[in-house]
Structure 1
Amino acid sequence: MTETRFQSATVLLYDPEPSMRQNTRSALLNIGFGEVIACADGREFVERAERGDFDLIVAETAGEKADIHHVIRDIRRHRLGKDPFINVVLSLWNTAPDIVGDVMNAGADDLITRPMSRTQISTRILRLISARKPFIVTADYIGPDRRLVTRSSPTKPMLIVPNSLRAKVENRPELAATPEAVRLAMTVVNERKISIYAEQLMRLSSAVILLSGSRDSFGDRADVVVAMRERNKSLIESVAGTEFTHIVSLCDALESLLLRIEKATTKLDDKDRDLLSQIPYAIHKGCSELHLSAGLAFDIREISNRVRDTQKNSGAESGAENAKNSALFA
């Protein structure tokens, strides 16, 4: 059944199999989408995802020349495309646990096993509008929270992200993925990652010290040092260009220390033990302000209302353009 409220929304569809692609495209047009761009070639799909303004991606994961789950992961990390929070539905034939795990860890909103019916497609899309799962951020994942039970005090703070599809279908411009909303949302995502990396450096440094007591543990110590260097590198990348760039000098000092420890075949001396405790602690303390903001759940409606109230109290104009560009995150 065609619904006119979907008319302004656009879809990017990828499926290398002609008949399946046509069936899915027909189903999406039948729902009421005004434009469905269908791609048979993986390279074209990536190019359109990079340049286009879409509200929904529906993609088959079985293409031989396109690692779709890698593409979606790059979108979520804002390495590809304009909207890292675009709604994504993936389909697959192969339901082997490792395949399903790779697809889910890419950050898609939903996963449909083939063959899929038009009713399934419609049901899943309507769910993205009415009950899209909040996002979580970990060291290696950005995407919807897939936990079956959401705890009252989640250890992984949740984000209610921009939803351009819902914004158009329900005519709610304050939910749109405007450039400003995306920028602010990604700032919070980045702050959460910085917080995570700083915490992990503290824990890993303790592990390195514990594994320095005997020669038998030096191999394991080297493995932990490698992991610690990777997290330190990620932290440097995350703080670049932010107000926390002063942390980079500490990270550089930590890298020099870790390189020396990685090559060592002896126990750590007292000086290196102290440095291995003190430098991650200093990094963690330097990022402490982030732990307050990144440790909360963020709701687009609450923050948008707060912004509008602030504008009203300060005498700022609050027309339609202001509502459209309301900040998602504080």
Structure 2
Amino acid sequence: MSLSFSLTAIRMLLGEPNPNVRSSLRTSLFRHGLRGIQDCGSAMRSHELLGEQLFDLVVLDANMEDSDVLGIVRLVREHKLCKDPFCNVILIADPPNPDMARLLVNAGADAVLIRPISVQALHERINLLIESRRPFVVTQNYIGPERRTEPRQGTTQIPEISVPSSLRNRAFGRTDDELHLKAVSSAWEIVKKQRAERLIFQIGWLAQRILPEEGKEDALHPRSQIAMHIFFVCEKLVNWADNLENEEFYTVCRKIKEKAETVHHAQASPDPQLIAALQADAGRLEELLSQPAGGTPPAGEEAS
């Protein structure tokens, strides 16, 4: 049985390039109770509005051609565009080919609706997000709602994060933005830590593969390629964890990058001691991340 809620306080961004479709959607959604609709006709304008205003629901045409709509969604999820990386996002797309389908799923939207769609279908999806939104997961390349319906056999189960939803809050009359953004800040610290953990795990895994057993080179993944992969993952880690209050963390990252570059440029097999030191540095990163500094703040408190 559906819970009782109202859409009148919801702040929605509608990005649709066709003015007739945009007007029709806006009018129909208004009849369903959505009053706070800000609409625009381009991806660039959608990008600008997301940086300027706080939205509870974002509905974008994924096929807008003036900018990368999927890139905009990723910027939202990585907290690089708007105040709330957890805002609810729905993409509307033309029937995709398999490659485009993967890109749509991996962008981080809460839902992808394939044309032709009805306003009723969009309204039902909005209601579903209010009532039972999926938890978020974090990998080294993805932040967004859990994409799997069932656990995948033989894989590590990634922790799920219950993120704050202003869409749900405002639908049930909880309209305090300051309180919501404090909850966002606390949840974001968990996301940051989990992303760092995923990147550090990748560095350690690559470090173990860089010296093949019995000196046998991996033809598909040569040592120099693995070394540069370590370098770039470590660089991504440093950029991601740019405010950790631990100088040793950055020192170890710098050492790993230096060793990875040395291995990459080596003409002959690298010194096993160098590889062992690189692997030890990767292990040290795991230890440093588990220390209290830079960890998750108490719920309801803003991150420092």
Which residue in 1 is equivalent to 2:144? 143
Which residue in 1 is equivalent to 2:135? 134
1:34 partner letter? R
> Cα distance, 1:171 vs. partner?
2.1
> Cα distance, 1:38 vs. partner?
1.0
> Cα distance, 1:240 vs. partner?
2.1
> Cα distance, 1:39 vs. partner?
0.4
> For the Cα contact (< 8 Å) 1:56–1:86, is it kept in 2?
yes
> Cα distance, 1:143 vs. partner?
0.3
Which residue in 1 is equivalent to 2:205? 203
> For the Cα contact (< 8 Å) 1:244–1:287, is it kept in 2?
no
Q: Distance in 1 between matches of 2:291 and 2:159?
A: 16
> Cα distance, 1:244 vs. partner?
3.5
Root mean square deviation of aligned Cα: 2.7
Q: What are structure 2's unaligned runs of at least 5 residues?
A: none
Residue by residue over 1:172-213, the C-alpha shift from the partner in whole angstroms, topping out at 9 and shown as x without a partner, is 468987332222111111101111111111110010012782
Given candidates 244, 248, 265, the residue that maps to 1:242 is 244
SS in 1 for 2:104: helix
SS in 2 for 1:38: strand
Residue by residue over 1:7-56, the C-alpha shift from the partner in whole angstroms, topping out at 9 and shown as x without a partner, is 11111000101222122212221221121111012221111111011110
Q: Distance in 2 between matches of 1:272 and 1:246?
A: 19
SS in 1 for 2:279: helix
Which residue in 2 is equivalent to 1:168? 170
Which residue in 2 is equivalent to 1:227? 229
Which residue in 2 is equivalent to 1:284? 286
SS in 2 for 1:32: coil
Which residue in 1 is equivalent to 2:74? 73
Residue by residue over 1:235-279, the C-alpha shift from the partner in whole angstroms, topping out at 9 and shown as x without a partner, is 212332123442110110111111110011211223212212211
Which residue in 2 is equivalent to 1:155? 157
Q: Distance in 2 between matches of 1:281 and 1:63?
A: 44
Which residue in 1 is equivalent to 2:268? 266
Given candidates 250, 254, 257, the residue that maps to 1:255 is 257
Alignment of 1:1-330 (within 5 A): 5-150=6-151, 155-172=157-174, 178-210=180-212, 213-214=215-216, 217=219, 220-289=222-291, 326=300
2:105 partner letter? M
1:56 partner letter? L
Q: Distance in 1 between matches of 2:116 and 2:287?
A: 52
Residue by residue over 1:59-108, the C-alpha shift from the partner in whole angstroms, topping out at 9 and shown as x without a partner, is 11111112111101000000101110000010011321111211111100
> For the Cα contact (< 8 Å) 2:196–2:240, is it kept in 1?
yes
Q: Distance in 2 between matches of 1:29 and 1:155?
A: 41
SS in 2 for 1:82: coil
Question: Per the alignment, do residues 178 and 99 of structure 1 end up closer, same or farther by CA in structure 2, a change over 3 Å counting?
Answer: same
Which residue in 2 is equivalent to 1:314? none
> For the Cα contact (< 8 Å) 2:185–2:302, is it kept in 1?
no
Q: Distance in 2 between matches of 1:284 and 1:4?
A: 44
Which is further off, 104-113 or 29-38?
29-38
Q: What are structure 1's unaligned runs of at least 5 residues?
A: 295-302, 308-325
> Cα distance, 1:229 vs. partner?
1.0
> For the Cα contact (< 8 Å) 2:210–2:226, is it kept in 1?
yes
Question: Per the alignment, do residues 217 and 37 of structure 1 end up closer, same or farther by CA in structure 2, a change over 3 Å counting?
Answer: same
Q: Distance in 2 between matches of 1:47 and 1:214?
A: 52
> Cα distance, 1:218 vs. partner?
9.6
Question: Per the alignment, do residues 245 and 182 of structure 1 end up closer, same or farther by CA in structure 2, a change over 3 Å counting?
Answer: farther
Which residue in 2 is equivalent to 1:318? none
Question: Per the alignment, do residues 138 and 219 of structure 1 end up closer, same or farther by CA in structure 2, a change over 3 Å counting?
Answer: closer
> For the Cα contact (< 8 Å) 1:27–1:121, is it kept in 2?
no
> For the Cα contact (< 8 Å) 2:15–2:41, is it kept in 1?
yes
Question: Per the alignment, do residues 219 and 96 of structure 1 end up closer, same or farther by CA in structure 2, a change over 3 Å counting?
Answer: closer
Count of matched residue positions in the alignment of Structure 1 and Structure 2: 296
What percentage of residue pairs aligned between the two structures are identical? 26
Question: Per the alignment, do residues 246 and 148 of structure 1 end up closer, same or farther by CA in structure 2, a change over 3 Å counting?
Answer: same
Q: Distance in 1 between matches of 2:260 and 2:246?
A: 22
> For the Cα contact (< 8 Å) 1:184–1:327, is it kept in 2?
yes
Q: Distance in 1 between matches of 2:5 and 2:282?
A: 56
Which is further off, 166-175 or 182-191?
166-175
